Structure 1
Amino acid sequence: MAAGDMDPDLARRLFEEGATLVLLGVPEGTELGIDYKSWQVGPRFRGLKMIPPGLHFLHYSSRDRLLGGGGETGPRTGLFVSLQPRELLLAHWDDKEEDLDFSASRDEEQLGRVRAGLRDLDPFLGPYPYDVMRKWVSLTDRLTMEVAGALQPLNGRVCSFSEVEPELQLPHTKDRVEHKLPRNDTECQSMREGLERLPRMKQRAGTELRFSHIPKQTYPPGATPEQITQCSMDFSYALERLLESRYPQEALHVLGELQFAFVCFLIGNAYEGFEHWKKLLVLLCRSEAAMHTRRDLYLGLIAVLYHQLGEIPPDFFVDIVSQNNFLTSTLQDFFQFATGPGVDATLRKRAEKFKAHLTKKFRWDFEMELDDCAPVIVELPEGFVLD
């Protein structure tokens, strides 16, 4: 993690103004990273220095103890942190939890001792990977710590695998019998029976990502059949309800949520981030009326998508993103609405330029009908239920 080709003036400014993360006791072999880069921790590692002030995503995966601590690592855990100039953040590795404990950062005495010894600690601190800073900023320029803090789990950790626990705590045999759960492995006559009788699981409280609720009903109460039809094709009503309930003061923060979901998936490996990104993208791209009244929101959406689609690995489109033509059909609707009559001229021009960019880069044709020229059947993602 050498500073390498960093401009000397920039290196000096980061040395003087950059924040420092002192991470003590991280086991050798742990995969640890910040923002868009990660490394395997060596025996001399004690943290990171010269970190540009602002929002960052610290992530790590502990060695898999079941495999003897070899090359395999466990699920990824991450957290968003907002760092001030010259700030020092201190954490100790908790072997039992296999997690970083930041409680020491609230102990002024400990912080003072570490700060006084930073010069001796400096050789064991790796410099922030400045070569990915521009990429990171482009992926999070709409995301504030306030928004990230409201979206990340109450325990502050974004995990690639959800922590689950039984819906019913039944440690005693008599309790399991009452709920028709097997007392032992030999009571099940088939695998299917065994699976059916397994305890129902739920996500552990405090570990859930707290995304905005996307309204299940896309039309107003008491809507006429004509309104129901209109709101089933134009999701502006549902979008406005989301903005009113979650971002009444600043609608553009919904773009921060789109970036948060994308980072949780792309860097945090949390699949639910991708699922929410899809739902939010559909809501935004299929809200025709909103494009006439929320010009700045949609100019921002184009910029956000430009950087996000540039970071998705090419083979990923063949896999998840292109399933059921999700992305191409969603963007096709967006371009149709954004270049229609009555749309702001700047937005229309930006949308046309973005469409040309995607057509050239990914060879997507937004002019022809999908599915061999058949009419496009729009399948609403989970969360859009027409009552």
Structure 2
Amino acid sequence: MSNPHTTTLLISSLPPNSTFGIDLHTYTTGPNFRGIKYVPPGLHFVYYARSPGVPGGLGAQGQVSPDVSGGMGLRDGFWVEARGGGEVIVREWDAESDELRVAEALTSTTVDERGLAPYPYREPGIEGEERQPSTDDFKRLSTRITKELLDRILPTGWGVGSTTASISDEKELKTGAASTPDEHVLRFSVIDLKRSWPPGSVGADITRWSLDKSWVLNSTIQTYHSGDRTALLGELQLAYLCLLAVSNFAGWEAWKTIVEMVCDAQEAIATESWQAFFVEFMDVIEAQLVCTPEATFRDIVEDSLFLATQLRHLRRNITDGEASTATPGVVPSSVLSARLDDLLKALKEAFDYEIELVGGPHAGRGFVDLENGGEVIVIGEGAEDEMEEETGEYAPVIVEM
């Protein structure tokens, strides 16, 4: 029986053994699969691929079974807004284009529920298999994503796939083409961290704002989000979900750019009026990382040690900011330091990973395997090496024990 307070997502003619997912729950379809029922009100991310899924995995009723293959391949996807009230959203498979296209909407009274899997469809996990996502994961990962944000960043129809490009490539940064609407590309904020100073800056100002990303952070928020700081966090969430669900490279690059910009915003970090933003930024990063499949997490960690480097910068800037605003004889506020400590603790608990700051200037960085099977990311801390390019002698190295 249909639920009058939810939505049905009807999927017509999707070939068996296709990959199908909603809100990070990924399945392999069976011959009887016709969609998802009981979808709660709100925004949802649907994705699919015709490529074969798990051989023979058709589920108890020939509908869907969890995709435990670990492989992704090319996927397409789209966001939908479920309004509830018994509505039926219909997508029909187009064999010529290998796409799910919008079809005429139906009413709940005309839908045969046979072949509809409940949201979220889950089968008992296999002992020892990788943790499967929960509905709470998607909620944590999309707290700041709004319809307005999807309209601004996603192509017409809120579609995004593995190969969907972004306007924020190097050529468009140079030509200014990023302001031109395009219905086929992602419109993430155009952020050039190599030119992060105000127009007309010279000399000392260029040096200052090259190191401190506070100006470009505030400029990005004003230009693309009408001054709404939390909307930038929504963009960060959307970029990461594009990576997790459909392996979109533009999303990955946008995520890294925003993370680097925020972690290096020295003046903003030291400003009390920005404190709530940085606390929520760390909330978002923690949710993203602990909800990430372990194999993907390790890829992220090992990508030029990007994560370790940025958290190192964040720690340094928080410490410097607390010191600069401290009253003589009074212990400085440690709200941001405590939140960062909690983030690092969460990574340790989720993946047995530790990120530590050790040693003095030029102490080097790398991975150290522990006897208990865990790993520690070791990164040197010191003021001098922050002025050096992370190449050559001080480039990231892998430490083998």
What TM-score, normalized by structure 2, do the two folds share? 0.71
How many aligned residue pairs are there? Answer: 313
Q: Which amino acid aligns with 1:209?
A: L
Kept in 2: contact 1:62–1:73 (CA 8 A): no
- Per the alignment, residue 25 of structure 1 pairs with 13
Cα gap change, 1:297/1:57 in structure 2, threshold over 3 Å: closer, same or farther?
A: same
Partner SS, residue 80 of structure 1 = strand
Q: Which has the larger share of helix?
A: 1
Matches within 5 A, 1:51-70: 51-63=39-51
Cα gap change, 1:365/1:347 in structure 2, threshold over 3 Å: closer, same or farther?
A: closer
- Per the alignment, residue 287 of structure 1 pairs with 265
Kept in 2: contact 1:57–1:78 (CA 8 A): yes
- Per the alignment, residue 85 of structure 1 pairs with 84
Tell me, which stretches of 5 or more residues in structure 1 are unaligned? 1-11, 65-70, 106-110, 165-204, 381-387
In the alignment, does 2:248 pair up with 1:257?
Answer: no
In the alignment, does 2:355 pair up with 1:364?
Answer: yes
- Per the alignment, residue 174 of structure 1 pairs with none
Tell me, which stretches of 5 or more residues in structure 2 are unaligned? 53-68, 123-133, 167-181, 326-331, 366-379, 392-401
Matches within 5 A, 1:287-306: 287-291=265-269, 292=271, 293-306=273-286
Aligned equivalents of 2:165 and 2:225: distance in 1?
29
Partner SS, residue 229 of structure 2 = coil
- Per the alignment, residue 152 of structure 1 pairs with 154
Aligned equivalents of 1:24 and 1:56: distance in 2?
18
- Per the alignment, residue 369 of structure 2 pairs with none
Kept in 2: contact 1:338–1:351 (CA 8 A): no
Kept in 2: contact 1:30–1:73 (CA 8 A): no
Kept in 1: contact 2:75–2:161 (CA 8 A): yes
Aligned equivalents of 1:240 and 1:163: distance in 2?
25
Aligned equivalents of 2:51 and 2:121: distance in 1?
27
- Per the alignment, residue 354 of structure 1 pairs with 343
Cα gap change, 1:206/1:130 in structure 2, threshold over 3 Å: closer, same or farther?
A: same
Which residue of the other structure, out of 188, 208, 220, is the alignment partner of 2:185?
Answer: 208
Aligned equivalents of 2:76 and 2:186: distance in 1?
13
Larger Rg: 1
Q: Which amino acid aligns with 2:109?
A: A
Q: Which amino acid aligns with 2:120?
A: P
- Per the alignment, residue 104 of structure 1 pairs with 104
In the alignment, does 2:25 pair up with 1:41?
Answer: no
Aligned equivalents of 2:296 and 2:14: distance in 1?
32
Aligned equivalents of 1:153 and 1:367: distance in 2?
45
Q: What is the Cα deviation at residue 317 of structure 1? A: 4.9
Q: Which has the larger share of strand?
A: 2
What TM-score, normalized by structure 1, do the two folds share? 0.73
Kept in 1: contact 2:239–2:252 (CA 8 A): yes
Ranked by relative contact order (alpha carbons within 8 Å, sequence separation 6 or more), the top structure is 1
- Per the alignment, residue 383 of structure 1 pairs with none
- Per the alignment, residue 15 of structure 1 pairs with 3
Q: Which amino acid aligns with 1:100?
A: L
Q: Which amino acid aligns with 2:189?
A: S
RMSD: 2.8
Aligned equivalents of 2:80 and 2:258: distance in 1?
24
Identity rate of aligned residues, in percent?
27
- Per the alignment, residue 131 of structure 2 pairs with none
Q: How big is each residue's C-alpha offset from its partner over 1:127-172, in whole Å with a ceiling of 9 and x where there is no partner?
A: 01177211110111111122123211235321112489xxxxxxxx
Q: How big is each residue's C-alpha offset from its partner over 1:318-342, in whole Å with a ceiling of 9 and x where there is no partner?
A: 4343233211111111122224323
